[in-house]
Amino acid sequence: MKHLLTTQGLSKDDAILLLDTSAQMAATQSRENKKLPTLRGRTVVNLFYEDSTRTRISFETAAKRLSADVINFSAKGSSVSKGESLKDTALTLHAMGADAVVVRHSASGAAHQLAHAGWLDAGVLNAGDGMHQHPTQALLDAFTIRRHLVGRVGDDGRGVDTSVGADLAGLRIAIVGDVLHSRVARSNVYLLHTLGAEVTLVAPPTLVPVGVETWPCRVSYHLDETLEQWQPDAVMMLRVQRERMSGGSGSFFPSPMEYSRKFGFDARRLAVLPDHAIVMHPGPMNRGLEISAAAADHPRSVIVEQVANGVAVRMAALYLLLSGDDSTNTQQTSTST
Ligand code: CP
């Protein structure tokens, strides 16, 4: 694996390898000395043209836990504000010896261009490109689903993860909300399908993208009907991305109150799910719009755990891109201190 740009086309074997390596990484994170020497001497650049809290911090944490040198680049305050192009920025990173570039950009396809334009030798990890893809988010979501619904670990995260090696066959995942603007939804649909899960997207017709009929999932316009009749094992709520809507004011639905009434997730809707079902959200959340505080903070919510799992998943992605994916190296990582 040279780059991680999309979950579309990621093979099942590679997806399972990423999840299993994440499990190994997670095991190292519950011990006192969390740091591994694996990427000592390597340089990871976080190249963020769009705001981020979770992804940027967890990639930085992941790289540092693997002993890499980390350079954080934010477009704000850089020469990008003077008009410098993505190409010239990439050539600068190449000159500085970047081994991996983690990129978030508002343009769909920016990560692909960075990986394939010949400006860099580095491995490229897509940390979110426009409305296209966010593969490490989908991987951390799949990792969280697998641990909860397939395997078992101790309450404190320690112990054997019995989900290792497993796919998600037979699980039903509902992804609810602003699908139109969501790279998280696209990435999850393809990854969850590859792993054998069934996916239903639930959204108002105005927030469903053109061409969704080619995606490997079903589409519903009725949340209550989907929850009651389909009984999903996990409900993944999506952020309403008002900043990407025309006028930036959420003009795609009649009113926030109407949206919340029809598509918001709350304790009443949680109560109709099976007892084992989990509630997910990639963050950041609009509390009171797509999810109520009671649902977000409910014991069956795994939202904070998703963030924690992001570190292990990004450690695995950096490791597999920079160290090769053969079993010898994987073994070394699990036993190094
Ligand atoms: N889920 C996610 O991508 O969050 P951030 O925008 O905070 O990175």
Q: Is residue 128 within 8 Å of residue 186, measured between CB atoms?
A: no
C-alpha 51 to ligand 1 mean position (Å): 8
Residue 156's pLDDT band, with cuts at 50, 70 and 90, is low
C-alpha 307 to ligand 1 mean position (Å): 9
pLDDT at 331 over 60: no
Does 38 show up as a binding residue in the annotation? no
Lowest mean per-residue pLDDT among 79-93, 95-109, 179-193? 79-93
User: What's the whole-number mean pLDDT along residues 249-277?
Assistant: 87
Per residue in 197-209, pLDDT tens? 999 999 999 999 9
- Residue for token pair 């099942």: 12
Does 104 show up as a binding residue in the annotation? yes
pTM of the model: 0.93
Calculate the average pLDDT of the chain. Answer: 91
Would you tell me the crossing angle of helices 303-323 and 54-65 to the nearest 10 degrees? 50
This model of the complex carries an ipTM of: 0.98
Number of H helices, E strands in the chain: 12, 9
Establish whether residue 229 lines the binding site of ligand 1, counting it when its CB lies within 6 angstroms of any ligand atom.
Answer: no
Closest ligand 1 atom to the C-alpha of 56? 8
Give the Cα-Cα-Cα angle 15, 184, 76 (nearest 5 degrees). 115
Residues near 245 by beta carbon (within 8 Å), at least 6 away in sequence: 181, 251, 252
Per residue in 276-295, pLDDT tens? 999 999 999 999 999 999 99
Closest ligand 1 atom to the C-alpha of 104? 8
Q: Is residue 92 within 8 Å of residue 36, measured between CB atoms?
A: no
CA–CA distance, 261 with 255 (Å, rounded to integer): 10
Closest ligand 1 atom to the C-alpha of 51? 6
Domains of the chain with CATH codes = 12-133+307-335 (3.40.50.1370), 135-305 (3.40.50.1370)
- Predicted pLDDT at 53: 96
CA–CA distance, 136 with 316 (Å, rounded to integer): 10
Residue 335's pLDDT band, with cuts at 50, 70 and 90, is very low
User: What's the whole-number mean pLDDT along residues 244-254?
Assistant: 61
C-alpha 149 to ligand 1 mean position (Å): 24
Closest ligand 1 atom to the C-alpha of 283? 1
Does 55 show up as a binding residue in the annotation? yes
- Closest residue CA from atom 3 of ligand 1: 55
Q: Is residue 232 within 8 Å of residue 172, measured between CB atoms?
A: yes
Q: Is residue 245 within 8 Å of residue 181, measured between CB atoms?
A: yes
Ligand 1 pocket mutation pick from 50, 53, 57 by most atoms within 8 angstroms of CB = 53
Residues near 68 by beta carbon (within 8 Å), at least 6 away in sequence: 39, 40, 42, 43, 44, 99, 100, 318, 322
Q: Is residue 321 within 8 Å of residue 68, measured between CB atoms?
A: no
pLDDT at 190 over 80: yes
CA–CA distance, 37 with 139 (Å, rounded to integer): 24
Establish whether residue 284 lines the binding site of ligand 1, counting it when its CB lies within 6 angstroms of any ligand atom.
Answer: yes
pLDDT at 249 over 70: no
Q: Is residue 29 within 8 Å of residue 311, measured between CB atoms?
A: yes
CA–CA distance, 136 with 192 (Å, rounded to integer): 13
Per residue in 21-30, pLDDT tens? 999 999 998 8
Give the Cα-Cα-Cα angle 113, 115, 117 (nearest 5 degrees). 55
User: What's the whole-number mean pLDDT along residues 245-270?
Assistant: 81
- In 51-160, where does DSSP find H-type helix? 54-65, 86-95, 110-116, 135-149
C-beta atoms surrounding 190 within 10 Å: 23
